Structure 1
């Protein structure tokens, strides 16, 4: 338990958030409010029984998860909704001590509402800049392709992302159900993105096992892997991840909510850390899973017994794995050192 005499405040620890989906970042009360305004009926799982009870390890469970996600997306209909979502996401990051947010979005999901892919991406980028100005939290965009769609669609997104490399887009991802689209099928899209200087950040090793992670490394030259937790099943693969310094975006509450692991203490966070794999704690979709970023660090502390020195190490790894400018990384890393050098009692006495 976090107390003034035994632990430093986790919301004061500088960190980066590298695994957050666009729609999934929405606050629950914002979803309820916008649904009421737009006449969108929310099922009980998104209303009174929130957060929903989910399980995505079978086709029926994944379909339900995706259906709830699509309902949530349907409330975002106007440009002001996009600005609000990103402002509130940045406010939540600031409250968690995160100074860099790398939020992932597939512009295809909103293109019909906002005049096409390019206009949609420009709207999101402008909203991100506005949120930065208002909160001081730096935001980079990950353009993410959907692995359940044709690889040609991913190529179109990669070419779009290439146009905005250095202009707010920092990485290129691949998401959705691993069982319905292998990483190797998207090699051409990732080649386009890598040549533009974007980080390669596909999902892998969540619903599928080590082969999924291996393909991300071999075929997509991954710099980071979304989730990657099932790499724990292959010691040689895990050693490779550690040696190549490929960051795993580990999202404990998501893994349990979707049934990847039955209980929080089954998530191999401690084993991954002790193997030398770089780890960036993330939330995935707090709109559907509940806890946000600072809670993931609290889980590391209270469930897995991470000391403050180890928590600082996790924060450093999240910063090093980010697509942030080097100058910002240097500043945040210095802030982590300051946090670790601080007196816990003084840290708690300085209430905002």
Structure 2
């Protein structure tokens, strides 16, 4: 269904539904005003990364990565990251998110040094626990290695993840430039994380085609795929994803803004769902893509005619696919109703 007509009152109700987000980059969720303010405090110049209206400015995916890393450069201490967690969770909670998992990189938090990483992680966890107490949103962390930083740095990230795995640091994955290397290059790091009891995800099938998704599943043995949308180009792979219960962390607004698809009506999320794939909805890097979880829900309702029942199913699927412990999952499912 395309261009579904839904009255504004119902759309407002859909925007307000309780939500679960599984694919959120912490630095990428930093409000531009937060980054500008931090840069001013530190007397750091950030030339060329903001548009005239104050939003982040970039031209394509490669430039997006450069702007992302430039914005991240002002985050220099555990305290900075604690403040960032607070700002991001306040925004998420305002959009109805009850539970979120965020990607964290030791490369950005202490340069891959285990001791420094522990300090950053402690500060972020304290901020997350304060937000849970004060505004009712639960956060868990997933360490990500950065693909374009290479396999050796990935091993350092995996070691940081393995040494700090527990009830708050619950997963390991890989982000970055999908066009660099192949998933199997990072198998050692994923094996290390798996042996430490961490659950696994990996960005794949956003810029490269379905073969990339298949390799991430086969070579890294992940439970979830970040994006994974181009698997629709190989229906045998889609069937394999369904058979193996692989969950896709789909970020429709991100995919459209970056040009993976020309418009939301061309996005395959509904086709994947219809074929039985467990799809979830996330924002990826919301201020970069001018979106929020409430915006994503409204857009999907307008374009595909998704109603409250579909969104409730999406939220339950997300909760069931979350990497948290069973006690946290049970409490979340109870809140979802």
C-alpha displacement of 1:210: 0.6
2:66 aligned residue: 67
Superposition TM-score, scaled by structure 1 size: 0.87
Q: TM-score, normalised by structure 2?
A: 0.91
* 2:44 paired residue among 40, 45, 49: 40
Deviates further, 130-139 or 186-195: 130-139
* Equivalent residues of 1:15, 1:319 under 8 A apart: no
Corresponding position of 1:59: none
Gaps of 5+ in 1: 57-61, 338-352
Q: Tell me if structure 2 keeps the 8 A contact 1:8–1:308.
A: no
Q: Is the 8 A contact 1:52 1:289 kept in 2?
A: no
Deviation at residue 238 of structure 1 after TM alignment: 0.6
> How many Å separate the matches in 1 of 2:73 and 2:7?
38
Contact kept, 8 Å, 1:32 with 1:47, in 2: the verdict is: no
Partner of 2:8: 3
What's the offset of the Cα at 1:177? 0.8
3-state secondary structure, aligned to 2:304? coil
The answer for the alignment partner of 1:316 in structure 2 is: 316
- C-alpha RMSD of the superposition: 2.1
Partners of 2:76 and 2:191 lie apart in 1 by 33
Partners of 1:125 and 1:198 in 2: how far apart? 17
Q: Which residue of 2 aligns with 1:100?
A: 99
Q: Give the corresponding residue for 1:23.
A: 27
SS of equivalent to 1:306: coil
Query: Any conservation in 2 of the 1:54–1:257 contact (CA below 8 Å)?
Result: no
Q: Is the 8 A contact 2:106 2:160 kept in 1?
A: no
CA deviation digits over 1:141-181, x for unaligned, max 9? 10000111232322222222122222411110101111102
Residues 153-232 of structure 1: pairs in structure 2 closer than 5 A: 153-232=153-232
Q: How do 1:1-352 and structure 2 match up within 5 A?
A: 1=6, 3-4=8-9, 6=10, 9-43=13-47, 45-49=49-53, 50-52=55-57, 54-56=59-61, 62=62, 64-112=63-111, 116-337=116-337
Contact 1:11 1:95 in 2 (8 A): no
Q: Which moved more, 1:109-118 or 1:183-192?
A: 109-118
Q: How far, CA to CA, are the matches of 2:261 and 2:57 in structure 1?
A: 17
Moved more, 103-112 or 148-157: 148-157
Residue matched to 1:346 = none
Per the alignment, residue 345 of structure 1 pairs with: none
CA shift digits 1:219-241 (9 cap, x unpaired): 11111111000001000111111
